[in-house]
Amino acid sequence: MPSNEGLLDRIVDWLPTTLGFKRVASWTLVPYWARRTPVKPLPGGPHPSFQRGDNVQCMMNLIMPLKIKSPIGRAEAALAIAQNKDTIYAGLNNVGTVHFARFVIVGDNICMFSVYDGDFTNYIRDFIATIGEVFNEVVKLVEGGEKVTPCEKNVEAFIQWVHERDLYQVPDTATDFLRDQEALNGDRAVSPVDDDLTLLPRKLVLQLRANANVSLGNGYRAYPGFSVAQVRKQLGLGW
């Protein structure tokens, strides 16, 4: 198809691809946009869904900044996990809805990545009831953790605290991303979403400014979703 773009259009399209423009835009344009149209960080965790396949094998991506930002702080976090390894295994067995859980140290953050079935709050609450003391050991090393420990006595606050640290899962499609943005408007949201797609890049940049760490998508499965118990039963492992 022949292009109707004039010289100015081509310059406008070309400019954002240059390194210099990206730097200048990061320092000036993005803060200006952010001031003009403030964007709240979108909540973390999987998008609520009523499709059953979406409600198993859900992802949690927790990034928790350590209080002590040094090799000693990181070593303390590593030790807290290692010392509670057996309890963690027992917890996984008793909670019954977790496919796997990983602890990773990235910079001065202790990260917990897990894949679980069902509702997020039920998952965390069941874990508190099962191995709350391990959460306490880890979270006491994390910035702000003292406000929600012991988790057994601060169940609702602890679940909310974890939820707030769970990464926003950026949808794969533009319309779903715009839907999430619109949902932030609450009662003022329009449905169906009637938004200008040309503003998508700006909205994404502003969201990533408010939400520096995100998950891209909600996990890509190589096969349809099955629950932990379905897998264990099928493999004859007991459930």
Partner 1 sequence: MNAMIDFADVQGNILRGYRMPRVRYLVLEVADRLAARRWLAASTSGDGGGTPQITPGHWGANKPDTCFNIGLTYEGLRALGTPSSSLAMFPNEFIEGMNARALKLGDVGQSAPQTWPAPFNEPARIHLFATIYATEVAQLNYVQQRALAGGKAWRLLGTREGCNFPKNRVHFGYRDNIMQPRFEGVHDPQRHADGQPIAPLGTVLLGHPTNLEGLLWRVPQPEALGRNGTFNAFRVLKQDVVGFEKYLDQAASDLLKYPQVDDVLPPGAELNICQVLSIAPPSRHGALREIVAANLCGRWRDGTPLALSADVPDPKLVEAKFDYVGESRCPYGAHIRRCNPRNGQIVQRVANNSRRLVRRGVPYGPRYNGPEPGDGSGPEPERGLLGNFIGASLGAQFEAMSCDWLNLGLQDPRITGSNDPITGTNDPDTSWFDLPLKSGSTIRLRGLREFVSTRGGAYTFLPSLSAIRYLGSL
Binding of partner 1 at residue 87 (CB under 8 A)? no
The mark string for 45-74 relative to partner 1 (x by CB under 8 A, - otherwise) is ---xxx-xx-xx------------------
Q: Which of 42/128 has CB closer to partner 1? A: 128
Give the whole-angstrom CA distance, residue 82 versus residue 79: 5
Q: Which of 183/200 has CB closer to partner 1? A: 183
Q: Which of 119/195 has CB closer to partner 1? A: 119
Binding of partner 1 at residue 184 (CB under 8 A)? no
Q: What is the DSSP string of 71-121?
A: HHHHHHHHHHHHHTHHHHHHHHHHH--EEEEEEEEETTEEEEEEEE-S-HH
Give the whole-angstrom CA distance, residue 45 versus residue 183: 15
- Residue 192, token pair as written in the block: 């169906």
> Looking at 30, 87, 88, 160, which residue binds partner 1 (CB under 8 A)?
160
Q: Which of 161/177 has CB closer to partner 1? A: 161
> Looking at 95, 141, 148, 178, which residue binds partner 1 (CB under 8 A)?
95
Asked if 204 and 168 touch (Cβ cutoff 8 Å), the reply is no
Q: Which stretch binds partner 1 (CB under 8 A): 28-36, 77-85, 169-177, 223-231?
A: 223-231
Q: Which of 121/213 has CB closer to partner 1? A: 121
- Residue 110, token pair as written in the block: 């202790």
Phi-psi region of 144 (alpha: psi -120 to 50; beta: other; left: phi over 0): left
Torsion over CA: 75, 79, 85, 88 (sign): negative
For the CB of residue 60, give the shortest distance to partner 1 in the complex, in Å. Answer: 16
| Count of residues of this chain found to bind partner 1 when the rule CB under 8 A is applied | 39
Give the whole-angstrom CA distance, residue 103 versus residue 61: 10
Q: Which of 118, 131, 207 is nearest to 170 (CA)?
A: 207
Q: List, in order, residues 6 or more apart from 149 with CB less than 8 Å away.
A: 135, 136, 139, 140, 158
Binding of partner 1 at residue 137 (CB under 8 A)? no
Q: Which of 160/213 has CB closer to partner 1? A: 160
Binding of partner 1 at residue 228 (CB under 8 A)? yes
Q: Which stretch binds partner 1 (CB under 8 A): 1-9, 43-51, 164-172, 174-182?
A: 43-51
Query: What 8-state DSSP symbol labels residue 152?
Result: G
Binding of partner 1 at residue 129 (CB under 8 A)? yes
Q: Where does this chain bind partner 1 (CB under 8 A)?
A: 48-50, 52-53, 55-56, 94-97, 117-119, 121-122, 125-126, 128-130, 132, 152-157, 159-160, 187, 226-230, 232-233, 239
